[in-house]
Amino acid sequence: MTVKQLSMPELVASCGVLGIGNVGLWREPVQTYGLEATAKIVRDAGLTVTTLCRGGFFTAIDPRERSQALDDNRRAIDEAATLGTDTLVLVSGGLPAGSKDLHGARERIADALGELAPYAERRGVRLAIEPLHPMYASDRCVVSTLKQALDLAERFPAHQVGVTVDTYHIWWDDDAPAQIARAGAGGRIHTFQLADWTTPLPEGVLNGRGQIGDGAIDMREWQGHVEAAGYTGAIEVELFNDGLWARDGREVLAETAARFVEHTA
């Protein structure tokens, strides 16, 4: 998504030029290029798919909506398996229209995980609950902290459900380092993502994630926390940024790779 202006073949070619061996994919561009075609082009290029984003949106009360969400998540799990990744990132969903019940919404997430986690395990896919910044709590994700995500994940085995650690969402939280340690001890850090925090935030606060190094987050510090907790997996960079999307995608990918080298250990 950082370079969503690139087509799938352009992305794969650019990764090759830059020596990038891992890529995290989103469902929409995969569907645009075709699931089987994407699986083939990344496999032929020797690229490893780190994660698929995203499943989730589990908070509907209406039974029909809820059933549709579960069906869609089973498809997402199947897609992850086809792409050869072992991790599906979950964005849990916000409050249903008119509801003020955060606790109830979080319980419905647990119910959905109970239905999906065994299905995912049979396909070799782990679910990774992503806490989103509290500014998304009403309309996008009622799971706002790593602690809440782990409280949900720990109801299930670690090989079924873990968490996504994304600097953009947790950097402000002085409890997050302890929760990273908790997640690591339980084998539940299923992916680690970087984005920087820059202000002013844009209207809607969706597409203002900063390029690595441009903002308030010390990337090495968070990398240190996850590595001290035992994480040895890939590190993803996930930027939603209208300014970056308006530029040449190859140039943005090269810049992002350079920033990654500059700001990580």
- Please give the residue ranges that form the binding site for a copy of itself (CB under 8 A): 95, 99-103, 133-135, 137-139, 144-145, 147-148, 171-175, 197, 199-205, 215-218, 221
| Residue closer to a copy of itself, measured from CB, 10 or 101 | 101
Dist. CA 86–CA 91, nearest whole Å: 17
* 204 class by beta-carbon count within 10 Å (0-12 exposed, 13-18 middle, 19+ buried): exposed
> Burial letters for 6-33: b for 16+ Cβ neighbours within 10 Å, e otherwise?
bebeebbebbeeeebeebbbebebbeeb
| Residue closer to a copy of itself, measured from CB, 44 or 246 | 246
Q: How far is the CB of 197 from a copy of itself (least distance, A)?
A: 6
Q: How far is the CB of 54 from a copy of itself (least distance, A)?
A: 19
Backbone angles phi, psi at 165, to 5 degrees: -100, 110
| Residue closer to a copy of itself, measured from CB, 121 or 214 | 214
Q: How far is the CB of 19 from a copy of itself (least distance, A)?
A: 28
Q: How far is the CB of 64 from a copy of itself (least distance, A)?
A: 23
| Residue closer to a copy of itself, measured from CB, 63 or 200 | 200
Q: How far is the CB of 99 from a copy of itself (least distance, A)?
A: 8
| Residue closer to a copy of itself, measured from CB, 66 or 147 | 147
Dist. CA 198–CA 185, nearest whole Å: 31
Q: Which of 109, 103, 107, 120 lies closest to 157 in space, CA to CA?
A: 120
